[in-house]
Chains A and B, each alone.
Chain A
Amino acid sequence: MGQIEILGIGILSWVTWLPTVGVIILLFFNKAKNNAIRWFANIWIGLCFLISIPLLTGLKGAGPGYDKALGGLQFIENYEWIPLIGARYQLGVDGLSLVLVMLTTLLGVIGVVVSWSYIRDKGREKEYYIMLLLLQSGMIGAFVAADLFLFFIFWEVMLVPMYFLIGIWGGKNRLYSAIKFFLYTLVGSVVMLLAVLKLFFIFPEMVKTQEQKQAVLATARRLATSPVTGQPNVKMYNMAEDAINRAAANNLPSGYSRGSFNITALTAIGPHIKAVYGMSLVIWLFIGFALSFAIKVPMFPFHTWLPDAHYDAPTAGSVILAGVLLKMGTYGFMRFSLPMFPDAATHPTVRKVMVILAIIGIIYGALVAMAQKDVKKLIAYSSVSHLGFVMLGLFALNPNGINGAVLQMINHGISTGALFMLAGILYERRHTYEIAEFGGLAHVMPVYSTIFLIVTLSSLGLPLMNNFIGEFLTLRGAFEANVWWAGFATLGIILGAAYMLWLYQRVFFGQVTNRLNEKLPDLNGREAWQFAPLIFLIFWIGIYPKPLIDFINPQTETVVAQVVPDYFEKSQVAEDGREGEPAAEPEAGVDPEVTR
């Protein structure tokens, strides 16, 4: 079990709050000392990344890293916060949030490094770095929160710095894009707040009788049991058990609430809501959560804020927006919507609607991307398409699909993040994103075009590169669920290859037609090296994804076992053909279910 403390403070608190500490230090810097501010911010965000590494590796003398075999929430911190509403300061990461936290800290570094020269030209550096660091804290906090109230606070806090990043340092239409982004996401999250409240109030009612309580406890136990080894994650279970006991207790001390926001406990009541309150409440709760997440993803009819926000955001903003913020939505689906409301997620109509919206997103995003005349808009629309894949994988509701979806989240963060960085470099040189302004850049900027080619190929899913693995697994999951879904989604891949290659052709091949492009400088050292970690990850995930899947898979199986309890029983009969996993684990995932 992973558990690290530094100076008596748990590592997750360190990872979450270190950027905020940086903000406080930055406040005392003289506004005019731009160089000092820039150096400080770069070093500090590096520190923030370094301190997240022990999550994987463990730290000598402080404790072990994440235990993949055990799974579940680890590095748990659990303190009293607002007992009157049952909100606690609970942090913890499972495999899913761990990889996303690592992605966040890495992209955080890249986002800050990328801004080096851009922000030197734009000005107001102190505020800029303060916003970036605040955003970093907010995003990490949302991934590590094990308490729904805490999660919600981080979820909303993220909006504010992002608004400023787009609004102050963005492009031409920045005011419009910033407010659009802000209001869209806000509407989603306030509706989620109502669903959260409803969940909070039904929680004590769900564990009223002894049988109900036992059933919920059994579900909690299953959630906390490793599908790999069958071992229980005691700390995670205790946290949930504590919440459930408190909800069922009759003699609480005054000043304490029976309700709780513990995510595991709330997930544990999920499968039982239908029996007590009926299907319609489950559907409404699902909609409350899903609307918020769908806007953030963004799924098809809610996607219109995305191209604007991406287009007008500064490069670092785009990288973080694409790399992390959009993942909040898909993370929310996987963490909350699916396991908390399995009856809604498996409801044929709901599932059909979600999948159809995902497929529309894939194809529509790709078609619109193809029609763009502008590099950054094209990449933005490609995001809509890629995130459609993630949603499709999630709602395939089988391990392959969900594993693929999570991989695809990471891959999209890496590839699209890199694409936005590349577009940003183009903009710094020429102050335009217009595709027609370029052409033949391969002659002028060889290093740049090589990197662009690698990232392009990765983005369109060339084998041996990261996106291939993700798309393959997703499609395999979709195929397993419904052949037609996979068929339509494949169309998206073809279109993806088309628009990416066409973009590459128009920008890099042919002769240099525009005289302004003849003397463009190639990448300098910083600009080239900032791509190194991303390109390394592109190939690493493409060639040997097993370490990554090992982190994700236990969580995936827990979710599948929660949503489709009989999935593993069925697939035991069918032949076992999943790749990259030991064959024995399905039984383990089902074990507690049987004892119940």
Chain B
Amino acid sequence: MQALIQATSAPIDLQVIMGQTAQLIMPEVILTLFACAALVLDVMLPRDRKQVVAWVSLAGVGFSLVSLGGAYYNVVRGGLSQKGFFDMIVLDTYAIVFKLMFLIGAGLSILLAIKYLEVESEQRGEYYALILFAVVGMMFMASGIDLLTLFISLELMAISVYILVGYLRRDQRSNEAAMKYFLLGAFSSGVLLYGISMIYGLTGSTNLADIASALPKVAVSNFNLYPNTPGSTSADMRYLVLLSMILMAAGMFFKVAAVPFHMWAPDAYEGAPTSVTAFMSVAVKAASFAMFGRLFLYGMPDLRTAIQGDSVTGVAALPGWALLLGVVSAVTMVWGNLGALTQANTKRLLAYSSISHAGYTLLGLIAGNTTGYTGFIIYLFIYTVMNLGVFGCIIALRRRGIAGDRLEDLNGLMRKAPWLTVMMTIFLLSLGGIPPTAGFIGKFYLFAGLIETGNPWLVRLAVLAVVMSAVSLYYYIRFIRAMYIEPSTEPQPIRLAPSLQVALGVAALLVMLMGIFPQRIIDLTQKAATSSGLKIGGPPSPQASPTPPQSRPSNAPPG
């Protein structure tokens, strides 16, 4: 931010945003152009040809993907400068992998939506434009390293999704869901902003790198702004740091639907159009986690284990964010899984399941080693694909007159649509973490990160996580039971639209491939986890401070 002010006070040098720097945001630019084109096309096309908008948007995603690939080879592989726009944007492997995730998610959910919107008779072009705008926001969330960029892109995503949730104008549940989601979302944005403003006040910068280097100086028990001025007093700034950390975390917890900020999720997921639920449950969550990772791993790596006290004056250290995340993750896993056990509505059930998955994903951040961060990214990647797949199968059940979102609607599916059933089984088993599906690899990495630290509390957390993942199988099995064992309750046949077939087929194939031959995906995510825009771990605290055990991982060597 300061760099921006300095630069703008001088005559503006257009070179700054031209040339190679433009590459850094090329995928986003392309998406924005296509989104605008979609809006224009929507006005021009007659009502029965609106599908064209979908294909145009899909093409936009495709082009963006290509340009992302180009950027990867030029910037990351080619060794060009990864930062640009006055250090507000970074394009490291971390950002690239997340952008890839969003684009895959967006592509699949556009494919899922085409038929679905037709059935709902709400086929309008702005749907696709909004999806694209949301994805632009997400992509900037993944590559922003300035609090302003991050916040603005978060809002761009959030507002697009608020509208999407209420997209079914005539459906009361959709309206209610949008309202709830919007009110709570706006509130959480406020909380996040409050945290951001405090950290800005404390460190005098919105740039995450600057914040990271300033925090160790600020977060001390005897902070004195003017040490050379006689008569100036020192203050304990650590509580402010702690508060802003908690506030920012709370804002992010809301976005990823972690307990205790999860209440909106079941309602919003149930009420939103299923294709939006699918998009929301994966892409929005992944984007929020991307920002979460940036904020905490890059912005305040030193506060990971503890906010240091002072051994001289005997001030005890305050817990760092690892403890905060650990507790939230444990509660989230338990609450999400137990909540899902009794649900009868599939969308609601999957909402709870997605809450619990947020808990698993947090484990990667808590572990604080390369394995953990790899697990964090790989799990989100895999989760994106498999959860989209499950929602795709539920969308397939939506026919005229049948909502398709009750568990009984799955009854006897094996006889009606065997291939759909098999694919659904693959996705469910993957969600449950049964090998040889991709979900197992994801869980494997998350648990491995925890075990690698050797910290007894983290091992206990891992035990809780594995037990909870066994519990989760209980409700995934309920789907499988309905599909294979229960007799069919309604005779209406199921026909899969070609676009849906493609989306589901691709997702199922990806889940199996990533499960059986995970080398490529592990390689990619490991690079992302060790990329420059992401510091690995904080320095081990020199003072042996009496912090709660969870915030004291034995400093396992990274890598």
- CB-defined contacts of B522 to chain A, threshold 8 Å: 82, 84-85
B466 touches A156 (CB 8 A): no
A153-B435, A157-B436, A164-B484 given; A197·B519 CB < 8 A: no
From A31, A85, A167, A190, contact of B470 by CB (8 A): A190
Query: How many Å from the CB of B95 to the closest CB on chain A?
Result: 21
CB of B526 closer than 8 Å to a CB of A = yes
A198 touches B435 (CB 8 A): no
B444 touches A193 (CB 8 A): yes
Query: How many Å from the CB of A57 to the closest CB on chain B?
Result: 32
- CB-defined contacts of B459 to chain A, threshold 8 Å: 194
CB of A191 closer than 8 Å to a CB of B = yes
CB of A168 closer than 8 Å to a CB of B = yes
A194-B462, A194-B463 given; A186·B473 CB < 8 A: yes
**Can you name the residue of chain B whose Cβ is closest to the Cβ of A170?**
B485
From A156, A160, A168, A186, contact of B485 by CB (8 A): A168
Q: Which of B65-73, B220-228, B312-320, B445-453 contacts A (4 or more CB under 8 A)?
A: B445-453
- CB-defined contacts of B452 to chain A, threshold 8 Å: 197, 201
Complex CA–CA separation, A228 to B408 (angstroms): 62
CB of B141 closer than 8 Å to a CB of A = no
B462 touches A175 (CB 8 A): no
From B434, B462, B518, contact of A159 by CB (8 A): B434
CB of A539 closer than 8 Å to a CB of B = no
From B448, B454, B473, contact of A183 by CB (8 A): B473
Query: How many Å from the CB of B397 to the closest CB on chain A?
Result: 21
Complex CA–CA separation, A183 to B467 (angstroms): 10
A182-B473, A187-B470 given; A160·B434 CB < 8 A: yes
A82-B519, A194-B463, A197-B447 known; 17 new pairs, CB 8 Å cut-off, are A82-B517, A84-B519, A156-B434, A167-B481, A167-B485, A175-B485, A179-B474, A179-B477, A183-B470, A183-B474, A190-B433, A190-B469, A191-B463, A197-B444, A197-B452, A201-B451, A255-B523
B477 touches A163 (CB 8 A): yes
A residues lining the B interface (CB < 8 Å)? 31, 81-85, 127, 152-153, 156-157, 159-160, 163-164, 167-168, 174-175, 179, 182-183, 186-187, 190-191, 193-194, 197-198, 200-201, 255
- CB-defined contacts of B434 to chain A, threshold 8 Å: 156-157, 159-160
**Can you name the residue of chain B whose Cβ is closest to the Cβ of A80?**
B519
B469 touches A84 (CB 8 A): no
A127-B414, A193-B444 given; A175·B469 CB < 8 A: no
From B418, B466, B518, contact of A191 by CB (8 A): B466
A82 touches B462 (CB 8 A): no
Complex CA–CA separation, A179 to B485 (angstroms): 12
From A159, A182, A193, contact of B447 by CB (8 A): A193
CB of B307 closer than 8 Å to a CB of A = no
Query: How many Å from the CB of A17 to the closest CB on chain B?
Result: 13
B467 touches A153 (CB 8 A): no
CB of B413 closer than 8 Å to a CB of A = no
- CB-defined contacts of B323 to chain A, threshold 8 Å: none
CB of B362 closer than 8 Å to a CB of A = no
CB of B177 closer than 8 Å to a CB of A = no
A84 touches B523 (CB 8 A): yes
User: What are 24 A-to-B residue pairs whose CB atoms are below 8 Å?
Assistant: A81-B519, A82-B522, A83-B519, A152-B435, A153-B440, A156-B440, A159-B434, A164-B484, A167-B485, A168-B484, A175-B481, A179-B477, A182-B477, A183-B474, A186-B470, A190-B467, A190-B470, A193-B447, A194-B459, A194-B462, A197-B447, A197-B448, A197-B451, A201-B452
CB of B429 closer than 8 Å to a CB of A = yes
A160-B429, A163-B477, A190-B469 given; A82·B518 CB < 8 A: yes
Complex CA–CA separation, A164 to B484 (angstroms): 8
- CB-defined contacts of B480 to chain A, threshold 8 Å: 163
- CB-defined contacts of A85 to chain B, threshold 8 Å: 444, 448, 522
- CB-defined contacts of A183 to chain B, threshold 8 Å: 470, 473-474
**Can you name the residue of chain A whose Cβ is closest to the Cβ of B518?**
A82
Query: How many Å from the CB of A285 to the closest CB on chain B?
Result: 11
Complex CA–CA separation, A186 to B517 (angstroms): 23
Query: How many Å from the CB of B342 to the closest CB on chain A?
Result: 15
- CB-defined contacts of A187 to chain B, threshold 8 Å: 467, 470
- CB-defined contacts of A157 to chain B, threshold 8 Å: 434-436
Which secondary structure dominates chain A's binding surface?
helix
Complex CA–CA separation, A156 to B448 (angstroms): 18
**Can you name the residue of chain A whose Cβ is closest to the Cβ of B449?**
A197
Which secondary structure dominates chain B's binding surface?
helix
Complex CA–CA separation, A120 to B243 (angstroms): 68
From B436, B462, B484, B517, contact of A153 by CB (8 A): B436
Query: How many Å from the CB of B24 to the closest CB on chain A?
Result: 26
Query: How many Å from the CB of A184 to the closest CB on chain B?
Result: 9
Complex CA–CA separation, A200 to B451 (angstroms): 10
Query: How many Å from the CB of A187 to the closest CB on chain B?
Result: 5
Complex CA–CA separation, A175 to B485 (angstroms): 9
**Can you name the residue of chain B whose Cβ is closest to the Cβ of A200?**
B448
**Can you name the residue of chain A whose Cβ is closest to the Cβ of B429?**
A160
Query: How many Å from the CB of A370 to the closest CB on chain B?
Result: 34
**Can you name the residue of chain B whose Cβ is closest to the Cβ of A205?**
B454
**Can you name the residue of chain B whose Cβ is closest to the Cβ of A198?**
B451
**Can you name the residue of chain B whose Cβ is closest to the Cβ of A184?**
B470
Complex CA–CA separation, A156 to B432 (angstroms): 12
Complex CA–CA separation, A83 to B520 (angstroms): 10
Complex CA–CA separation, A157 to B426 (angstroms): 12
Complex CA–CA separation, A167 to B459 (angstroms): 34
- CB-defined contacts of B474 to chain A, threshold 8 Å: 179, 183
Complex CA–CA separation, A191 to B447 (angstroms): 11
Complex CA–CA separation, A191 to B467 (angstroms): 8
**Can you name the residue of chain B whose Cβ is closest to the Cβ of A192?**
B466
Complex CA–CA separation, A164 to B440 (angstroms): 20
A159-B434, A182-B473, A186-B473 given; A194·B447 CB < 8 A: yes
- CB-defined contacts of B467 to chain A, threshold 8 Å: 187, 190-191
From B435, B481, B484, contact of A156 by CB (8 A): B435
Complex CA–CA separation, A168 to B481 (angstroms): 9
A194 touches B485 (CB 8 A): no
- CB-defined contacts of A190 to chain B, threshold 8 Å: 433, 466-467, 469-470
- CB-defined contacts of B466 to chain A, threshold 8 Å: 190-191, 193-194
Complex CA–CA separation, A11 to B118 (angstroms): 53
Query: How many Å from the CB of B437 to the closest CB on chain A?
Result: 10
Complex CA–CA separation, A83 to B523 (angstroms): 10
Complex CA–CA separation, A198 to B466 (angstroms): 14
Complex CA–CA separation, A164 to B473 (angstroms): 14
Complex CA–CA separation, A175 to B418 (angstroms): 21
Query: How many Å from the CB of A281 to the closest CB on chain B?
Result: 9
Query: How many Å from the CB of A376 to the closest CB on chain B?
Result: 21
Complex CA–CA separation, A95 to B202 (angstroms): 69
Query: How many Å from the CB of A526 to the closest CB on chain B?
Result: 29
Q: What 6 A-B pairs are tightest by C-beta distance, nearest first?
A: A190-B466, A153-B435, A197-B451, A84-B522, A187-B470, A186-B470
Query: How many Å from the CB of B101 to the closest CB on chain A?
Result: 19
- CB-defined contacts of A168 to chain B, threshold 8 Å: 484-485
Complex CA–CA separation, A416 to B461 (angstroms): 41
Complex CA–CA separation, A31 to B484 (angstroms): 15
Complex CA–CA separation, A179 to B519 (angstroms): 33
Residue from the set B448, B469, B474 with the largest chain A CB neighbour count within 10 Å: B448
- CB-defined contacts of A163 to chain B, threshold 8 Å: 477, 480
- CB-defined contacts of B414 to chain A, threshold 8 Å: 127
Complex CA–CA separation, A201 to B452 (angstroms): 6
Complex CA–CA separation, A191 to B462 (angstroms): 9
- CB-defined contacts of B429 to chain A, threshold 8 Å: 160
Complex CA–CA separation, A193 to B485 (angstroms): 30
Complex CA–CA separation, A119 to B480 (angstroms): 21
Proximity string of chain B (478-510) to chain A, C-beta cutoff 8 Å, 1 when within and 0 when not: 001100110000000000000000000000000
- CB-defined contacts of A83 to chain B, threshold 8 Å: 519
A167 touches B451 (CB 8 A): no
Complex CA–CA separation, A382 to B61 (angstroms): 62
- CB-defined contacts of A159 to chain B, threshold 8 Å: 434
**Can you name the residue of chain A whose Cβ is closest to the Cβ of B374?**
A84
A164-B484, A167-B484, A187-B470 given; A194·B523 CB < 8 A: no
